Amino acid sequence: MVLREWVFPKTKKKKIVELAQECQISCFLSSILCARGIVEKEKVRDFLDKTEATVDPFEFAYMDKFVERINTAIKNFEKICIYGDYDADGITSTVLMYSYLSKRHANVSYIIPSRFVGGYGLNEKSLEKMKEMDIKLIITVDNGVSAYEEIESANKMGMEVIIIDHHIPRKIPNACAIIVPKINKSLEFKDYAGVGVVFKAIEALEYKKKTQEKLLEEYGDLVAIGTIGDVVPVLHENRKFISKGLEVMEKISRFGTRVLLLDNSKELDTNFVSFVIMPKINSCGRMGNPETSAKLFLAESYEEAVNINDILIEENENRRKICEEIFQKVEKILEENFSIRFKPIILVYGDNWHHGVLGIVVAKIVAKYGKPAIVFSIKENEIRASARSIPGFSIFDAIDHCKEYIERFGGHKMATGLNMKKENFEKFREKILDYSRKNHVPNLCINIDGVLNISDINIKNVNEIEKLRPFGTENPEPIFAIIEVKLVSFIPVSEGKHTKIFFHKKSETFYGMYFNMCIDNFFYSKGDILDLAVNMRSNLYFGERGITICIRNIKYSSFDSREIMRQKRIFEYFISDIKQDTNNLVEMFPSRDDIAIVYKMLKRENICKINIENLLKMCENMISLSKLYIILEILSELGLADIKNDFDNYEIYLKPRIKKVNLENSKHLFNIKSKIN
């Protein structure tokens, strides 16, 4: 189990009822919208009616210049090259612009660089190649805004550049048109994916000729896949792009898209795109040639698409194996150097790690440990790295703070990639950790959308939840709390991969599925009184619609999750040598009696494997969490126990006591005392 702070909504019932009446929606749906801050009639309408959110493409700065330059290039049959990126957003952006310009009979080609040769964005070699191709106009898609020097070089070579990007610029390049929402002060919404910005550019080119609806019927599959793949907020126009894109995806004539849907036996949704389609599209960019994925969408026959899809499947399997190997190495490093994972930002590195999968590895670290993280791959004197963050902390700003040690970097507040020289690594590490100590890194919380009674678990309410789709970043699937339930029993399912758990509340018995929770890591006992954080979903079983309760987190009902996380932060700050209130250290400092209580309890219960939360429950009202953490460290330090831990899952083996142990020998106790004094 992973400790998380649960954050409950503070909306008053009166407001929920008023909004429900004003908008003519159910109180159940109103309560979720209120929990998410959508409390005005107009905003509710725009959110629920996804067809309403349409932005005039000419609200984007430089759009008129873009349209004029493209139309001139098409008219004069100038050689145009679309320069893309190797992830799903970059690939779909490239295919979208290439397909559109090809339909208009432009003299167009495309280049998607390899992350292993040129790397991200424009570079001198790619510019030389385009010069040899006699390219007159370069259109960067999903990149370009960081390529200040490269665009200067392109201009000197006689090539003009149009930038269509969604990243954050540090210095605005001298391009003939720059379609980048984040530099546009007048735009209300700026968080488009790269493919979304490309689509807005095409809207401008088709202004008063084709409606947005018509364009989405032609290109909606590409826009939806790229938008979902780039994990941008599923708000405003992005909701429309995804909703309409998913709707047209099953009807689209594009052979590549049709082949990608072969694996889908259920209703097409963002989860299927994220976890089935996306890994395949990204696999070639991670492992080899990203243009293979582009060719899938550009396939001219069903047979060609099937053959390319087979290549993607093979590449994805290879990617999966390499990713797991590196993740296991990371886990070993964190196990052997436990202080790394207690720092505000987790930094881990290795030699010659395949940098094509670093983004996946770092995302898994963030998901498990609930902290920003950066994974570095060192090859000779070169380092490549991938960073991911959590809501409330900009990893982009943190890295920008250390830019003097970096060769190049780009991204946004939640995800960034960077390159540096090996000799700068230690200075970079020290500076970014110092930044994280001075700039608060919040806990990764579970935002609860409401509290469910057993009577609330019904198909009617599931249908209300469906109105909030599509789900994704900043519009996650609703999470509800079911409080004070009694654990009845639990059984493994799917060969032990998941656990089915039965609960009792009042006069009702129900069950929930805890996916990816193997029974060996489930440490709760029959009779425990628990709170559940769950999703409520519909399912189809032998033609009958039912309800699945999907468990996301569990905690003891008697535990205050906010206080638990405060206690954990006290211990982490101490281990990471971050300055904190002296009262916190006094609170954490264990007495001899405290240590004896924990030691005797471990001995009495004959505990070998346990989660920290369950261990805390055994010490309830006697030992705080920060004190429990430090006591376990002291027992290990003084040789009283062999302790291994995988995050908050512990293996504890008490050693036979041959002689009395002097607690004064503990460096941890000495350090706490010295900080207090």
Residues 6+ apart with CB under 8 A from 79: 107, 109, 133, 134, 135, 136, 137
> Three-state SS across 452-518?
CCHHHCCHHHHHHHHCCCCCECCECCCCEEEEEEEEEEEEEECCCCEEEEEEEECCEEEEEEECCCC
Is residue 531 within 8 A of residue 481, CB to CB? The reply is yes
Interval 492-516 mean pLDDT: 95
Q: What is the DSSP letter of 354?
A: -
Lookup: tokens for 608: 């070998």
Is residue 46 within 8 A of residue 139, CB to CB? The reply is no
Task: List the one residue out of 130, 94, 143, 114 whose CA is nearest residue 298.
Answer: 94
CATH 1.10.10.10 fits 57-313, yes or no: no
Please, which pLDDT band fits residue 444 given cuts at 50, 70 and 90?
confident
Lookup: tokens for 475: 């519009």
Is residue 212 within 8 A of residue 54, CB to CB? The reply is yes
**What is the model's pLDDT at position 52?**
66
CATH 3.40.50.460 fits 448-556, yes or no: no
Q: Identify which has the larger pLDDT, 413 or 541.
A: 413
Using the predicted structure, report yes or no on whether residue 646 has a pLDDT greater than 90.
Answer: no
**What is the model's pLDDT at position 673?**
92
Mean pLDDT, rounded, of the chain: 93
Q: Identify which has the larger pLDDT, 96 or 43.
A: 96
Residues 6+ apart with CB under 8 A from 58: 64, 204, 207
**What is the model's pLDDT at position 215?**
97
**What is the model's pLDDT at position 422?**
96
Dump pLDDT digits (tens) for 95-121.
999 999 999 999 999 999 988 777 788
H-type alpha helices, 343-473: 358-369, 395-400, 425-438, 459-466
Using the predicted structure, report yes or no on whether residue 540 has a pLDDT greater than 80.
Answer: no
Percent of the chain with pLDDT over 70: 99
Domain ranges of the chain: 57-313, 337-443, 448-556, 562-676
**What is the model's pLDDT at position 2?**
75
Dump pLDDT digits (tens) for 564-598.
999 999 999 999 888 899 999 999 999 999 999 99
Residues 6+ apart with CB under 8 A from 425: 349, 376, 378, 383, 405
**What is the model's pLDDT at position 599?**
92
Please, which pLDDT band fits residue 1 given cuts at 50, 70 and 90?
low
Dump pLDDT digits (tens) for 132-183.
999 999 999 999 998 999 999 999 999 999 999 998 887 899 999 999 999 8
Percent of the chain with pLDDT over 90: 81
Lookup: tokens for 423: 């000799």
Topology of domain 562-676, CATH: Arc Repressor Mutant, subunit A (1.10.10)
Residue 83 phi, psi (nearest 5): -110, 110
Topology of domain 337-443, CATH: Diaminopimelate Epimerase; Chain A, domain 1 (3.10.310)
The pTM (predicted TM-score) of the whole model is 0.90
The number of residues making up the chain comes to 677
Dump pLDDT digits (tens) for 4-33.
999 999 999 999 999 999 999 999 999 999
Residues 6+ apart with CB under 8 A from 477: 465, 471, 535, 537
